[in-house]
Amino acid sequence: YLHCLQKEYAALKSLYDLKPMDSWVWKFHRMRPVNFPTRRISQLANLMTCQEGLFRKICETSDYSNMTELLQAEASEYWQKHYRFGDKPGKISGTGGKKQIEILIVNSILPLLWVYGKINNKNEYCDRAIDMAESIPPENNRITRQWRDIGIDTISSFETQGLIELTEEYCKNRRCLYCHIGTKLISLDSERKPQSDLILGEPS
């Protein structure tokens, strides 16, 4: 299987002048084996080959549960027994878990659907992306827990995505004066908590 892939890549590289990725781009450290990029790429390739007209189906899907079913994909036969090339074979799960598919939808599918609608002046796609984001439970990660700890509760992934963007673009970079929330906090009187106590994350 490996030799077959190498031969096929060599032919495609020559035909299309492909540039190989640097080895350091491949991240395996501190990652569960089931989430290794080798297996995820295999699942993505299988999804794209088995689902004819995948992007069209994504655009036509308005229900979150149907979207989840659409993105279910098995890894190829080799990757149902391996985590990396050359590993000792063993039976492992080939499908993406529910949480993994949810992450894919929130971080890739819905932004793609919204941008496609925006570029092509199709507001129904933008609305569909927002409606679906509002139907997905809030994310639970380091950033959303920081907001929760200071009393900011969320009810959907639409809200948690907003908090993540706010944190990455403003809080971490100390751009308080460019943020409506930041300027509001700065204007609080001296009886409130110091501004330093309300800053999320560490400066980059």
21-79 confidence digits (pLDDT tens): 888 888 888 778 877 888 888 888 888 888 888 899 999 988 888 999 888 877 788 88
102-129 confidence digits (pLDDT tens): 888 999 999 999 999 999 999 999 999 9
Place of tokens 């299987």: 1
Q: What is the pTM of this model?
A: 0.71
pLDDT band at residue 204 using 50, 70 and 90 as cut-offs:
very low
pLDDT score of 96: 57
Distance separating alpha carbons of residues 162 and 156, to the nearest angstrom: 10
Residue 74 or residue 132, greater confidence: 132
Residue 134 or residue 86, greater confidence: 134
* Cβ-contact 47, 68 below 8 angstroms: no
DSSP state of 171: I
pLDDT score of 41: 87
Query: What tokens were used for 165?
Result: 């963007």
Residue 126 or residue 96, greater confidence: 126
pLDDT score of 129: 94
Q: What is the mean pLDDT of residues 73-91?
A: 82
Please enumerate in sequence order all residues whose Cβ is within 8 A of that of 70, keeping only pairs 6 or more positions apart, or say none. 51, 54, 57, 58, 61
179-194 confidence digits (pLDDT tens): 888 888 778 744 555 5
pLDDT at 170 over 90: yes
Distance separating alpha carbons of residues 136 and 156, to the nearest angstrom: 6
pLDDT score of 146: 92
C-alpha to C-alpha distances, 74 to 25, 42, 51, 176, nearest whole angstrom: 24, 8, 12, 45
| Own/partner long-range contacts of 81-86 (Cβ < 8 Å, ≥24 apart) | 82/38, 83/33, 83/34, 83/36, 83/38, 83/39, 84/28, 84/36, 84/38, 85/2, 85/38, 86/2
pLDDT at 196 over 70: no
135-167 confidence digits (pLDDT tens): 999 999 899 999 999 898 999 999 999 999 999
